[in-house]
Amino acid sequence: MDRILIRGGRPLTGRLAIGGAKNAALPLMAAGLLTEERLVLENIPELADIDTMASLLLEAGLTLERQGRRCAIGGRITRTEAPYDIVRRMRASVLVLGPLLARCGEARVSLPGGCAIGTRPVDLHLKGLAQMGADIRLEGGYIDARVAGRLHGAEIVLPFPSVGATENLLMAATLAEGETIIANAAREPEIGDLAACLNAMGAEISGIGSDRLTITGVARLHGATHAILPDRIETGTYLCAVGVSGGEILLEGGQATHLAALIRALGEAGVMVEETAAGLFARRMGKLVGVDVMTEPYPGFPTDMQAQFMALMAVAEGAAMITETIFENRFMHVPELNRMGARINVHGASAIVRGVGGALSGAPVMATDLRASVSLVLAGLAARGETIVNRVYHLDRGYEALVEKLTGCGAAIERLKG
Ligand code: EPZ
């Protein structure tokens, strides 16, 4: 298994390009199931999770033509099953459920299990679809969903603004009969991107960007071309990278719009971020100080930035309290950061980080999910000596050319094969 070797202690300087958002690309690819015509997606990142979603679409009988960052999806659905072998690799596989059911009247999707960051049920997806007329059974580890004729509109009030449930229900509602309202919908920018693409395909969605989406179902959707928005979490990760390492970098294509909560916290901590015509410019200003943050649904501080911000706080001066409210088990990076000399105590949903006010010390480490893994890479950049991050396949799921991008900015980082 590949590993990443980092020799820490070098400031970052230079520029790197931000790719398309993984978490927008995945539902957008699933939206390809909603039409027989070609859906052309531009700015698709090259990531393992994208390959997994591509396998699901191929499994359903669709054709995919990938040319660099462009992917054309089209063709007829010949199979309405998402098999366990693929779904177990990625929970977002469940996003094919709504489109398949709305389009074909049936879908059989393996139940995604729990995962390292929490139990992550899909009950909200299923309840919403049932409200739209689907008959849903759970059998043999699979979700078996059927509807006679079309789904129908419904007023769905989500008890929690789940990103995936909002996306699944939104896609299903585009082809339902009548009007669907999704109240307390998640407002993550990736949902706005999905809704914009669906409207370009002929859907009638209003309230985009708000917590109340209204969808008037149409009989069919047509093809469209859509460019995926830049990855805000990749952007935020490199902002934290320059924070831990020092120096200054330009993130080409990066946008501040969707990162307000993080940029505010970074500013208080001592990392200046400025939007320029060429992208986001970031610089560490003198000493880092501890800042408390709490993860919340968008527009709050993103849970997908919690681990990286913790790596930054680990090297700051003073204490920071980091509270995780979205997932129940998203502190797996803590023991590994502590092995590198960080001083972090977890109590329930909060972690107290007593910043060491200087470098950590390099060590072999590993993590069990994507954002936790990248936080260890950041810690490695800020550490004396060598850090080896094991289980690189987590990073391959969500960070395109991580080693190359950091090397281009002066980091001493390399991928060790085997
Ligand atoms: C999306 O996951 C993202 N994934 C996650 O990114 C991200 O961490 C998360 O949203 C929160 O922002 C994709 O977009 C592909 P949720 P999702 O449904 O949709 C509970 C990354 O690193 N819940 O908003 O699965 C759930 O257990 C990843 O890129 C239910 O209880 O997140 C969790 O505690 C990881 N029942 C909370 O809601 C449900 O039916 C938030 O989940 C659905 C969710």
* Residue-by-residue DSSP string for 246-283: -EEEEEET--SGGGHHHHHHHHHHTEEEEEETTEEEEE
Are 104 and 145 within 8 A, CB to CB?
A: no
Q: Which residues partner with 208 through β-bridges? A: none
Q: What size, in residues, is the chain?
A: 418
Residue with tokens 């499994």: 59
For 197, the 3-state DSSP assignment is helix
Residue with tokens 């109590």: 347
Q: How confident is the model at residue 295 (pLDDT cuts 50, 70, 90)?
A: very high
- Counting from 1 in the atom list of ligand 1, the atom nearest the Cα of 328 is 34
- Give me Rg for the CA atoms of the chain: 21
The rounded distance, in Å, linking the Cα atoms of 75 and 21 is: 25
Are 251 and 16 within 8 A, CB to CB?
A: yes
Q: How confident is the model at residue 271 (pLDDT cuts 50, 70, 90)?
A: very high
Residue 125: count other Cβ atoms within 10 Å of its Cβ. 25
Of the residues 71, 104, 115, 409, only one is catalytic, namely: 115
Residue 287: count other Cβ atoms within 10 Å of its Cβ. 11
Q: Which of 326, 370, 374, 395 gets mutated to test ligand 1 (max ligand atoms within 8 A of its CB)?
A: 326
Closest-CA residue to 28 (of 17, 19, 40):
40
State yes or no: pLDDT of 119 exceeds 90.
no
φ/ψ of 192, rounded to 5, equals -60, -40
Are 3 and 414 within 8 A, CB to CB?
A: no
Q: How far is the CA of 51 from the centre of ligand 1 (A)?
A: 20
pLDDT of residue 102: 98
Q: How far is the CA of 134 from the centre of ligand 1 (A)?
A: 22
DSSP 144-159: EEE-SS--B--EEE-S
User: CB under 8 Å to 299, separation ≥6 — which residues?
Assistant: 187, 260, 261
Closest-CA residue to 102 (of 28, 171, 44):
171
Tens of pLDDT along 311-331? 999 999 999 999 999 998 899
pLDDT of residue 135: 98
The rounded distance, in Å, linking the Cα atoms of 39 and 216 is: 21
Q: What is the largest CA-CA distance in the chain?
A: 64
Is 115 one of the annotated active-site residues of the chain? yes
Nearest residue (CA) to ligand 1, atom 10? 163
State yes or no: pLDDT of 177 exceeds 90.
yes
Are 99 and 110 within 8 A, CB to CB?
A: no
Percentage above 70 pLDDT, the chain = 100
Nearest residue (CA) to ligand 1, atom 18? 162
Percentage above 90 pLDDT, the chain = 96
HSE-up of residue 103 (Cα within 13 Å, Cβ side): 25
Q: What is the mean pLDDT of residues 301-306?
A: 98
Please tell me what DSSP assigns to residue 13: E
Tens of pLDDT along 3-20? 999 999 999 999 999 999
Q: What is the mean pLDDT of residues 107-118?
A: 85
Q: How far is the CA of 162 from the centre of ligand 1 (A)?
A: 6
pLDDT of residue 113: 72
The rounded distance, in Å, linking the Cα atoms of 308 and 298 is: 17
Q: What is the mean pLDDT of the chain?
A: 97
The rounded distance, in Å, linking the Cα atoms of 265 and 270 is: 9
pLDDT of residue 307: 98
Tens of pLDDT along 344-390? 999 999 999 999 999 999 999 998 899 999 999 999 999 999 999 99
pLDDT of residue 258: 96
Q: Which residues partner with 159 through β-bridges? A: none
pLDDT of residue 418: 82
pLDDT of residue 114: 67
State yes or no: pLDDT of 413 exceeds 70.
yes
- Counting from 1 in the atom list of ligand 1, the atom nearest the Cα of 190 is 14
State yes or no: pLDDT of 118 exceeds 80.
no
User: CB under 8 Å to 121, separation ≥6 — which residues?
Assistant: none
Q: Which of 28, 90, 124, 162 gets mutated to test ligand 1 (max ligand atoms within 8 A of its CB)?
A: 162
pLDDT of residue 62: 98
